[in-house]
Amino acid sequence: MSGLVCQENVGFLFSHGCGSPAAMTCMRCAMPLCEQHVTSVGAEMLCATCARQHDDYTGDRNGVDEDHPSYYYDNYGYYGAAASSGSGRAHDANDFTEADGASLRHEDDASFEEDMGGS
Amino acid sequence: MAGRWLVYALGGGMGHLTRASALARAASRRGHAVVLLTNSPFASGLPLEDVLGTGVEVFRLNPALGREAVGEVVEQCLADVRPDLFVVDTFPRGLGGELVPLLPSVRARKVLIHRDVNPTYVKQYGLARAVDAFDLLLVPGEAAPFANHPRAVRTAPWLLLRASELLPRDKARARLGVPAEDTRALVAVMGCGTPEEVGEAGHIAARLDAMLGPEAVVRWLVPPGVAMDVPAPRAKQGRRAGASLEEGLALRMSTWPALAVLPGVDVLVGAGGYNTVQEARVTGTPFVALARPRLYDRQALRLRPEERAGTVEALVTRAAGLARARPARSTRPYVNGTDDAVTLIERTVLSA
């Protein structure tokens, strides 16, 4: 897909971008996805996050990606499930979200002074 | 007294190049001869010579060069240019650590452009010692770890263009392909960061265009020289047509520097890099952005809560809301910190 790569987070211990060539985009959030990380929910092809949000509304767990850690661990995520879904009672629109947290995590610290494309 | 400056602007994306170009341009206008060194993957497509003028010579390194090759080029460049002044953007040790053995033998005065960096990097690589090799630390408009260093001086944010150089609103909109009789809100989605993120900006522009319909005009701003292929359609049974890059291509406008056209933009959608954020703020452009992950920069901390969207979904929703509300924007002229920076540097050189 014109050089776009899959943006889905993978890795059980150390989260990182998938990086495989993207085959499509999530039909809700437009995140580029490879075929391995597309979740089919009804007629929609979604990323794991949008699929989970769909389930939060419908209670439907059919079609959820069982390979995703959140399927087995309710508290998986940087700030927990409530923060990532926006459904927590204490949620504030200005809170840092899971996505903001991801932008501050540096699990590839080892590439300091190695990556000549760093910024 | 005019000097010979070497400005080190290595680093991915467009941020290091744009910030350093702003300083180089201001220095050139004061009569200094400037050599600007960049390995940005965007540099080959940008009309840098046109914007920076004849007083700035740009050395474009192949962005594919690895650490050792970059180190050799930088060493050779220092030997060839023999600058009176060596300005380093962001990385006091060099992007690959190559400056550590080089700096002690560099006779030029040394200036560090000091912005926020990952605290893990600061600690693990001893940046407190590295910054001591510099005669002056310039802190352009935002917090930075060594902003209280005895030789650090804060300035206003650095912009590539002065306020008087921005296009008037009607000409800016015309540059973006909006006819004079079309008074709808103009939403610009900034394509920058990495080539992949430029493509994602096209998808976001397409989604906004579909959501807003005739309520607003949407444009996808792409730096010149960035090739975006039309993707081959992938048949997937039961999949309805989503926002595609083809749709984004119809909205695409090749423009740089985008700062020049911001007076014509009613909503700016982008990321939290230094230049986009400062450009939106100084021009008073309503702005919403994603915090993109970076190795050294911390975009989530730069963005204010009202500017930051946690997901693409939130980004699109908030941008559409701003386009419909059309909040009033400030149009007062801004101060460009590059002029003060050049003055501070000249004093440093004179005090040698």
**CA torsion, ordered A14, A20, A25, A28, to nearest 10 deg:** -10
- For residue B33, the model assigns a pLDDT of 97
Contact list, B308 vs chain A (CB under 8 Å): 100
By the 10 Å C-beta count (0-12 exposed, 13-18 middle, 19+ buried), B66 is classed as exposed
| Residue B301 pLDDT > 70 | yes
What are the tens digits of pLDDT across the range B255-276? Answer: 999 999 999 999 999 999 999 9
Taking contacts as CB-CB distances below 8 angstroms, the residues of chain A near B68 are none
pLDDT confidence of A15, banded at 50, 70, 90?
A: low
Domain residue extents for chain B: 4-158+336-350, 163-325
The whole-angstrom separation of Cα B114 and Cα B154 is: 9
pLDDT tens digits along B276-297: 999 999 999 999 999 999 999 9
- Give residue A32's domain range: 9-92
d(CA B208, CA B214): 11
Per-residue pLDDT tens for B208-225? 999 999 999 999 999 999
The answer, for B124 touching chain A at a CB cutoff of 8 Å, is yes
Q: Is residue A107 situated within a structural domain?
A: no
pLDDT (0 to 100) of residue B172: 98
User: What is the Cα–Cα distance from B147 to B115, expressed in whole angstroms?
Assistant: 9
The pair of structure tokens assigned to B203 is 């998808």
Question: How far is B59 from B83, CA to CA, in rounded Å?
Answer: 14
Quote the DSSP letter at residue A5: B
pLDDT tops 90 at residue B115:
yes
Cα–Cα distance between B49 and A42 in angstroms, integer? 53
Nearest to A4 among B10, B199, B311 (CB): B199
Who contacts B170 (Cβ-Cβ below 8 Å, separation ≥6)?
Answer: B180, B264
Q: How confident is the model at residue A101 (pLDDT cuts 50, 70, 90)?
A: low
Please write the tens of the pLDDT for every residue from B171-189. Answer: 999 999 999 999 999 999 9
Average pLDDT over residues B118-140: 96
**Chain B within 8 Å of A94 (Cβ-Cβ)?**
yes
Q: Is the pLDDT of residue B22 over 60?
A: yes
| Residue bearing the bigger pLDDT, B123 or A35 | B123
Report how far residue B286's alpha carbon sits from residue B326's, in angstroms, rounded to the nearest whole number. Answer: 9
H/E stretch holding B282 reads: helix B274-282
DSSP B229: P
Element containing residue B271 per DSSP (H, E) = strand B267-271
Q: State the best of A16, A113, A115 to mutate against chain B, taking most chain B CBs within 10 Å.
A: A113
Q: Mean pLDDT over residues B128-139, rounded?
A: 97
Average per-residue pLDDT for chain A: 66
| Whole-number pLDDT of residue B233 | 36
Q: What pLDDT was estimated at residue A49?
A: 84
- What values do phi and psi take at B305, rounded to 5? -55, -40
Q: What is the pLDDT of residues A49-65, one digit of tens each?
A: 888 887 665 655 454 44
Reported confidence tier of residue B234, pLDDT bands at 50, 70, 90: very low
- Alpha-carbon distance of A69 to A85, in angstroms, equals 15
pLDDT at B97 over 60: yes
**Does position B232 have pLDDT exceeding 50, yes or no?**
no
Domain B163-325, CATH 1.20.120 — does that match?
no
Q: Which two tokens stand for residue B66?
A: 């690895």
Dist CA B135 CA B268 (whole Å)? 37
- Asked if residue A47 has pLDDT above 60, the reply is yes
Task: Tell me, yes or no, whether A106 lies in a domain.
Answer: no
Q: How far is CA B8 from the centre of its chain?
A: 15
Average pLDDT of the segment spanning A28-50: 84
**Does B121 score more than 50 pLDDT?**
yes
Can you give the pLDDT at residue A50?
A: 83
Residue A35 domain-assigned? yes
B125 contacts on A by Cβ (under 8 Å)? 112-113
Residue pair A47/A29 in contact (Cβ under 8 Å)? The answer is yes
Residue recorded with tokens 């081959």: B232
The reply to whether A112 touches chain B by the CB within 8 Å rule is yes
Confidence of residue A75 (pLDDT cuts 50, 70, 90): very low
% chain B with pLDDT above 70: 93
- Identify the residue whose tokens are 């990086």: A19
Average confidence (pLDDT) over A11-30: 76
Structure tokens at B171: 């000409």
Cis (ω within 30 of 0) for the bond into B101? no
- At B241, the pLDDT band (50, 70, 90 cuts) reads very low
Minimum-distance CB partner of A100 among B203, B232, B308: B308
CATH fold group of domain B4-158+336-350: Rossmann fold (3.40.50)
Q: Which residue has the higher pLDDT, B322 or A6?
A: B322
The Cα B319–Cα B285 span in angstroms is: 12
Q: Which residues in chain A are closer than 8 Å to B310, comparing Cβ atoms?
A: 96-100
Residue A83: predicted pLDDT: 36
Q: Token match 């940008």: residue?
A: B46
How confident is the model over A78-96, as pLDDT tens digits? 333 333 333 444 555 556 6
* Residue B154 bridge partners (DSSP): B139
- State the average pLDDT over residues B143-170: 97
CB B195 within 8 A of CB A3: yes
ipTM surpasses cut 0.95: no
- Mind listing the pLDDT tens digit for each residue in B34-80? 999 999 999 999 999 999 999 999 999 999 999 999 999 999 999 99
